[in-house]
Amino acid sequence: KVVGPEISSYGVASVENFIDDVSVKINGLVEKPTLDEAPSDLAIASGYLLTPDVLSILEQEKVGPDGEIRISDAVDELCTVQDVYGRIIDGDYHDTGTPERYIQTVIDIALADDKLGPDLREHLRNKL
């Protein structure tokens, strides 16, 4: 779940209904919506388990203005022809899409590591 303006950094699921506490039926996906356009607070964590049905859609996808073909666009279209389901993941998600977030992610992972953590904590204490 992503709350607030940060939602515009993610793809977001439009959800029809919750099947249980962690499973949802998805109506579509919206790539990087504004806060007002976001259909929910459920960000896409880019882990997909797809059937081959999506391949024919991907073959017809047009390259976007950024020069990429997005899997989220194909899954959004797939939602119009068959049921698509999502799963809410309870855990940490690390965003490496900007230099700042990449560095934060590396530091978080290093601090959690038994070998790297103690030395890094000491180094950061000395620097800060």
Two tokens, residue 100:
């700042």
| Backbone phi and psi for residue 56, each to the nearest 5 degrees, phi listed first | -65, -30
The two tokens of residue 13 are 């699921």
pTM of the model: 0.75
Per-residue pLDDT of the chain (128 residues; tens, 9 = 90+): 888 998 998 899 999 899 999 999 999 999 899 999 999 999 998 788 999 999 999 999 888 888 888 888 999 999 999 999 999 988 888 888 889 999 999 999 999 999 999 999 999 999 99
DSSP letter string, 73-112: HHHHHHTTTS-EEEE---S-----SSHHHHHHHHHHHHHH
**Residue 66: helix, strand or coil by DSSP?**
coil
CA 87 to CA 23: how far, in whole Å?
A: 5
The count of C-alpha atoms lying within 13 angstroms of the C-alpha of 112, restricted to the half-sphere facing its C-beta, is: 7
Residues 40/14, Cβ–Cβ less than 8 Å: yes
